[in-house]
Amino acid sequence: MRALVLFLLIGLGTSFSQSGQASVEAHVGRGTRLMQDNLFEAAAAEFEQAVAANPQDPRAHFQFAVCLLALGRNDEARRQFEQVQKLAGDSRYLEYYLGRLDLLSNDYGAAIRRLGSVAENPPFPDTAFHLGVAYVSAGDVITGIKWLERAAKLSPNDYRIHYRLGRAYSSAGRDQEAARELDLYTRLRDEHKNNEKDVRDCAGALQNQPLPAAREVCHRMFDPNDPEKLTLLAQLYGDSGAFDDALDPLKRAVQLDPKSFDAWHNLGVTYFRLQQYAKAREPLERAVALRPEFYGSVVLLGATLYMLGDDDAALPVLEKAHRLNPSDAQTAQVLEQLRAKQQKK
């Protein structure tokens, strides 16, 4: 969900009216952050205020709709998506979300039409999964299997897809394939549970044991080929203040997955916390490029530039951070100082 929200912020573009623009941006920024923390109710309140501040802004309606969908308030979500459609016209994203809502309301025919219309050029990788589920639910198991197979290729480690595919094979009487998929599902599900256990053990060890002993426990999480796991391991180290230990996993993670926002952001934060500002700059720039609306990365990049003495570069970045989170008094104070300095030049 986190990735989707921010991706859509870029994808849809913006059409702010001048009046209320700052307010909309602030509410959307806060709402986005709240969604990233899974605080959907609070996020919905922010997006609702954004919509109220500028009812003609499709981005506010869109974000509100995505949030409502996450809350299971499906009828309201549909109304907001339809409002976006009125204001900004059709898009692949709208077809995707409306198709998912059709699926949730058991309107399989409509779900197949909508999701099918964007499946060859899908807005999100799970489009094939939802389309497959729609076909299976509609009774067309053969076509459903085709799309679920495609979904499994796109997300080979998602146990939910293999579960659905296994059940679809079973319904079609393809017992050997069903057994294979359900075995795979079981293995992936077990791995997922083991990973959760490793995370709990590592976090517990970092909390309760000396660092050398905790390192031994946490080493179980070190998978040199899994960027997500490496990032998670680094986050655990970071949470406990062991920033030196976070560096290697994060460096490996960004090598493995240069498009991982989490990895770049955390690498930047880690260097920042180690006061290695010159090294923090590039990872934070990469993070901001990947998620320009994420306040945490933007403000840290601004702060890094400020700490490096590059005030000219810091000013616009901190201005953006302030737009994203106007309640940050410290940033406002620094901005005032920087602006005053600029005026003196």
Partner 1 sequence: MNRRNFLRVLTAACATGAGISRAQESGMASRGVKPQPRGKLSGLPFHAHFTDVAAHAGLRAPVIYGPPDRMDYILESMGCGVAFLDYDNDGWLDIFLLSGTRREGPVEGATNRLYKNNRDGTFTDVTEKAGLTRQGWACGVTIGDYNNDGFDDIFISGWPQNTLYRNNGDGTFTDVTEKAGLLHAGNRWGTGCTWVDYDRDGRLDLFVSNYLVFDFDKIPPTGKDPRCDYKGVPVNCGPRGLIPERPMLYHNNGDGTFTDVTAHSGVGSVPPGFGLTAVAADLDGDGWQEIYVACDSTPSLLFHNRGDGTFAELGLQSGLAVNEDGSEQAGMGIAIGDFDLDGRLDALKTHFAEDTVALYRNTGHLGFDDVTMRSGLGVETRYVSWGDGIVDLDNDGLPDLFWVTGSVFPEVERKHPEFPHKSPRVLFRNLGNGRFEELLEEAGAAIAEPHASRGVAFGDFDNDGDLDILIMNMNEPPSLLRNDVSGSGHWLKVKLVGTRSNQSAIGAVVTLSYSGHKQAQAVMAASSYLSSGDRRLHFGLGAAEAADLEIAWPNGTRETFKGAPSNHLITIKEGSGIVARERFGS
What residues line the site for partner 1 (CB under 8 A)? 36-38, 40, 71-76, 104-106, 137, 159-160, 162-164, 166-167, 170-171, 178, 182, 185-186, 189, 196-197, 199-200, 203, 232, 234-236, 238-239, 243, 246, 262, 265-266, 269-270, 272-273, 275, 296, 299-300, 303, 306-307, 330, 333-334, 337
| Nearer to partner 1 (CB atom), residue 88 or residue 110 | 110
Q: At its nearest, how many Å lie between partner 1 and the CB of residue 186? A: 7
| Nearer to partner 1 (CB atom), residue 26 or residue 300 | 300
| Nearer to partner 1 (CB atom), residue 24 or residue 136 | 136
The CA distance from 157 to 207, in Å, is 30
Written as six digits, the tokens of 336 are 């005032």
| Nearer to partner 1 (CB atom), residue 82 or residue 310 | 310
Q: At its nearest, how many Å lie between partner 1 and the CB of residue 17? A: 31
Written as six digits, the tokens of 196 are 């959760």
Q: At its nearest, how many Å lie between partner 1 and the CB of residue 13? A: 27
CB of 172 closer than 8 Å to CB of 142: yes
Q: At its nearest, how many Å lie between partner 1 and the CB of residue 10? A: 20
Query: Which sign does the torsion angle of CA 280, 282, 283, 286 carry?
Result: positive
Q: At its nearest, how many Å lie between partner 1 and the CB of residue 106? A: 5
Q: At its nearest, how many Å lie between partner 1 and the CB of residue 184? A: 11
| Nearer to partner 1 (CB atom), residue 88 or residue 203 | 203
Contacts 24+ apart (CB under 8 A), 323-330: 323/22, 323/25, 323/26, 323/29, 324/25, 324/26, 324/29, 324/293, 324/295, 324/298, 324/299, 325/26, 325/29, 325/30, 325/33, 325/295, 325/299, 326/22, 326/26, 328/299
Q: Where are the beta strands (DSSP E) in the chain?
A: none
Q: At its nearest, how many Å lie between partner 1 and the CB of residue 121? A: 27
| Nearer to partner 1 (CB atom), residue 146 or residue 167 | 167
The CA distance from 325 to 302, in Å, is 13
The CA distance from 268 to 277, in Å, is 9
| Nearer to partner 1 (CB atom), residue 15 or residue 275 | 275
